[in-house]
Structure 1
Amino acid sequence: MSFTLAIVGRPNVGKSTLFNRLVGKRLALVDDQPGVTRDLREGEARLGDLRFTVIDTAGLEEATDDSLQGRMRRLTERAVDMADICLFMIDARTGVTSTDRMFAEILRKRSAKVMLAANKGEGRAADDGVMEAYELGLGEPLRLSAEHGEGMGDLLAELIPFSDEYESKNKSIEPDVDVSLEEGDEDPDAYQAPSDAKPLQIAVVGRPNAGKSTLINQILGEDRLLTGPEAGITRDAISLKMKWGDTPVRIFDTAGMRKKAKVQEKLEKLSVGDGLRAVKFAEVVIVLLDAAIPFEQQDLRIADLAEREGRAVVVAVNKWDIEDEKQQKLKDLKEAFTRLLPQLRGAPLITVSAKTGKGLERLRDAVLRAHETWNTRIPTAQLNRWLTGMIEAHPPPAPSGRRIRIRYMTQVKTRPPAFVAMCSLPEKLPTSYTRYLVNGLRDDFDMPGTPIRFTMRSQSKDNPYKDKKKSTPSRLRKHLNKPPHGG
């Protein structure tokens, strides 16, 4: 068991830069513009031999109302309550501000353990700010440079005693369970370590304000992600580990994706890029639509992106609780889905309400089913019996009078299912015939909606020796070169 460290402070003091350095990856978006981080982001940190959980938080604001800044502050205060230790960061080049003083007082009351860090401490320009930090009454400040990695050894030295104290305290309250067994013994009631089963990776994507963060909060059962009426609140892809029913999952909340032409600001480009990476890492992608304006052009692009990346796709239509003509609307949605997204034919379309939680059980079942289908493997013998029946029912065309022959096929991979068929003249086989086979695979092997990769390859039946020069055996060559008898 490891402790949890929350990095808190005013906007733009370098919290996300330090977070990225501790986790060893560029997980959090970093920009000169203040207030980039809005949600809580957790990561597994490594500092020397020390391992712990680190939380990146939104910049502390003075607002306490229901404005966006007020909601961000409440989320940060929640992280302070969750964490075992807080690292309060100030900007050494700016010096101590009145806001720093106010939040230092709040942290003294809310957190049992607070460490003070003066970031951007490289160079003489930071000397005055480091000295001012003493007035906050939080002990000696750590002089850091998160960008350049300076002061990490001092941070490690401060954390090691706390880590030792934390571990000894938690060991003292663990149950005394004897897990030793003699060789060959089996005890079904003995203590077992928790399973480290790999979680199912799910990305929730969609246009801005479709309700992605609200949906994930509803699945979690708590307000873990920042939500509100403003479009584009989520800026970077936040991943959360949890159990959805009995299934361990890692779920990614992504920034709303707008048309490329409308994405102008550098920060929004970074946010959308972060969301695209989440799609590539996911196994199942939930494309979330707004019931009031479903299947706009951008929705279609997002769904098509997930299919091209080879992810299993589930389409969820949100805000169903405020829809009046539900039956007619559902009929229209299914018709539009079939017409506009033929490449995802048969993919589940689930109506949900992120606000009330209605439909989430059906959504979970659809996600698990889509993941199972995505991992489908069909035996080669069964595939070729099926192929024979498909060819008999509808033979391939005969361009220029030469019949294209498909000899056999096999599945080469899963995730998504990919198939290769050996045939003559693959370059002349029309796309419509390949589509006929793909649709047949979907229907006959129960693979609705999942991307299917189908490749035709040439199988040469030519004589492998036809291009080799015929050679005459040396013994025969000598005989042929002899002069005629008696000559």
Structure 2
Amino acid sequence: MGATVAIIGRPNVGKSTLFNRLVGKRLALVDDTPGVTRDRRPGEARLGDLRFTIVDTAGLEDADASSLEGRMRKQTEEAINEADAVLFVIDARAGVTPLDSHFAAVARKTTTPVILLANKAEGKAGMSGLYEAFSLGLGEPIAISAEHGEGLADLYDALLPHVERVEEEELAATEEARTDLAVDEDGELLDEDEPVGTEDRPLRVAIVGRPNAGKSTLINTLLGEDRMLTGPEAGITRDSISVDWVWRDHHIKLFDTAGIRRKARVQEKLEKLSVADALRAIKFAEVVVVTLDATNAFEKQDLQIIDLVAREGRALVIAINKWDLIEDREAAWKLIKDANDRYLNQIRGVQIATLSGIQGQGVDRMLESVFTAYEAWNSRVSTAKLNRWLDKVTVNHAPPAVGGRRVRLRYMTQAKTRPPHFVAFASRPEELPESYTRYLVNSLRQTFNIHGTPIRFSYRKGDNPYAVKKKRKIQ
């Protein structure tokens, strides 16, 4: 993907709708509320035989540089500087507004080629706005409808001088590969045989947590640039944004997500969409870093997020952020360890890293924990070792006797990894109490060093070899 194209314009002109149209899926949040998009969001666009990186940006607003809107505008300006071409979008139905004229003057000063798009031009309602767009001095406007896919042929012609075409043979090979391999949430190819951490198969890591826990600040520190919008306001991030990054020769795809509040507090439709996007990022991640505020760690919502990650079956790392604000760190660490032992029984031995996202302290330890948790997530134990272990644990603590008859565990194997899933064959599995299953799972963790990842454990009932004979005797 050589060329990069940025979409800019004032709020609520349909930039995210156009972004979704070009990438071929609903990646960016779309709502009637102005200013939904805040961070830069890249995606792999496809338009005929053109392949390029498209960047959705925040709506341009005339505001003080220190305000949230001003910081959003700075993100958009950086996207313009990095782009090979810019799509300047206006609302044809609303016509040219003073804000359009103001930022068109800014766009004319840039050296990046600008293509003017009059969106929402379907029908006759947008014709007057289309003609008004000539006054912006950005050349002939292209009438499009991002919602209905109209005008894309004209957009193709306008992009052709700035984006390289892909040969038919290469397109055919790519499409054939897509039918054979799994894809991630962005539609990118995932070769399961490819070692994780390579350029073709980056490790997918989602950063989640409550609002204002420092998730975006942490990602900016990791990247070494102000890639994500940050500030003292809670709930700045709305879209789940993915960023490719390299750490110690390991390729990683980082996902910044919106803060997840308690369900009862989420009332607005836009926040519901943001939380749903964050939950989707957890689903497609391989390792999830749950970011806690060191000054107020292990709140009820923190525990619910951790439980959600465990139920989703993802490798887990807990990052205690804002550690620089803690004065008595020894006492704080003791409280954290006590809370971990008390509340996280479902995922014992989880990796905990203390860090300061704003100062960059402890981030390397956190990333080492990420790869340790990933290895545990992929743990596989041979059937021979499992059954030797099963003999020992059942001798040390035999299954309970129910109704005078002891439940027998005959055999055990590992069904899958990611996360590890073990299956035990028992004579009467429905009679085994939950406490005995917890005993087996905890012993598995300790014996085979499977920490920081959920473990799935299920039972199957073996066939009774005398059942057929008994049935025949009755007949």
> Normalising to structure 1: TM-score of the pair?
0.89
Cα RMSD after superposing both structures: 1.7
- Residue 105 of structure 1 and its aligned partner are, at CA, apart by 1.4
Q: Which residue of 1 aligns with 2:37?
A: 37
Indicate the residue corresponding to 1:61 in structure 2. 61
In the alignment, the residues of structure 2 paired with residue 222 and residue 262 of structure 1 have an alpha-carbon distance, to the nearest angstrom, of 33
Shift of 1:449: 2.4
| Amino acid in structure 2 at the alignment position of 1:115 | I
Residue number in structure 2 paired with 1:133? 133
Q: Quick check: 1:216 aligned with 2:198?
A: no
The correspondence of residues 79-478 of structure 1 with structure 2, limited to 5 A, is 79-164=79-164, 196-463=199-466, 465-466=468-469
Alignment-mate amino acid for residue 135 of structure 1 = S
SS in 2 for 1:138: coil
Unaligned runs of 5+ in 2: 168-196
**How many residue pairs are counted as aligned between the two chains?**
445
CA displacement 1:310-340 (0-9 Å, x = unmatched): 0011001110011100011001111011101
Cα gap change, 1:467/1:21 in structure 2, threshold over 3 Å: closer, same or farther? farther
Letter in 2 for 1:364: L
Aligned to 1:75: 75
Asked if 1 retains the 8 angstrom alpha-carbon contact of 2:51 and 2:164, the reply is no
Q: 2:172: which partner in 1?
A: none
Tell me, what secondary structure is at the counterpart of 1:29? coil
Q: 2:13 aligns to what? A: 13
Cα distance, 1:195–1:269 mapped onto 2, change above 3 Å: closer
Q: Distance in 2 between matches of 1:375 and 1:430?
A: 28
Displacement of 1:2 after TM fit? 2.0
Q: Does structure 1 conserve the Cα–Cα contact (< 8 Å) formed by 2:213 and 2:321?
A: yes
Q: Is the 8 A contact 2:91 2:119 kept in 1?
A: yes
Does the residue aligned with 1:466 lie in a helix, a strand or coil? Answer: helix
Q: Is the CA contact 2:208–2:259 (under 8 Å) kept in the aligned structure 1?
A: yes
Deviation at 1:61, TM superposition (A): 0.6
Displacement, 1:464? Answer: 5.7
- Percent identity, please: 60
- CA offsets 1:137-162 (integer angstroms, 9 cap, x no match): 11110100000100011111111232
Distance 1:379 1:166, change over 3 A: closer
What is the deviation of 1:353? 0.2
Pairwise CA distance, 1:241: 1.1
Q: Deviation per CA, 1:73-119, whole angstroms, max 9, x where unpaired?
A: 00100000010100000110111111111111111222421100000
Give the aligned residue type for 1:122: E
Going from structure 1 to structure 2, the CA distance change for 1:130 and 1:21 (only over 3 Å counts) comes to same
Q: Judge conservation of contact 1:86–1:111 (CA < 8 Å) in 2.
A: no
Pair member with larger Rg: 1
Amino acid at match of 1:248: H
Q: Which moved more, 1:98-107 or 1:403-412?
A: 98-107
Q: Tell me, what secondary structure is at the counterpart of 1:161?
A: coil
Q: 1:410, CA displacement in angstroms? A: 0.2
Q: What is the letter of the counterpart of residue 156 of structure 2? A: L
The equivalent of 2:52 in structure 1 is 52
Distance 2:395 2:428 in 1: 19
**Equivalent AA in structure 2 for residue 156 of structure 1:** Y
Residue 163 of structure 1 aligns to a residue whose secondary structure is coil
CA–CA distance in structure 2, aligned partners of residues 238 and 415 of structure 1: 24
In 1, Cα distance between equivalents of 2:468 and 2:329? 69
Q: Aligned letter for 2:28?
A: A
Contact kept in structure 2, 1:5 and 1:86, CA below 8 Å: yes
Deviations 1:166-206 (A, max 9, x none): 99xxxxxxxxxxxxxxxxxxxxxxxxxx9643111111111
Q: For residues 41-98 of structure 1, give each alpha carbon's deviation from its aligned partner in whole angstroms, at most 9, with x where no partner exists.
A: 0000001111100000000011142000000000100000010100000110111111
CA distance in 2, matches of 1:469, 1:457: 25
- Aligned counterpart, 2:194: none
Contact 2:143 2:151 in 1 (8 A): yes
- Tell me the amino acid that sits aligned with residue 275 of structure 1: A
Counterpart CA distance in 2 for 1:322 and 1:162 is 49
1:468–1:340 distance in 2 versus 1, CA, 3 Å: closer
Structure 1 position 467, deviation (Å):
6.8
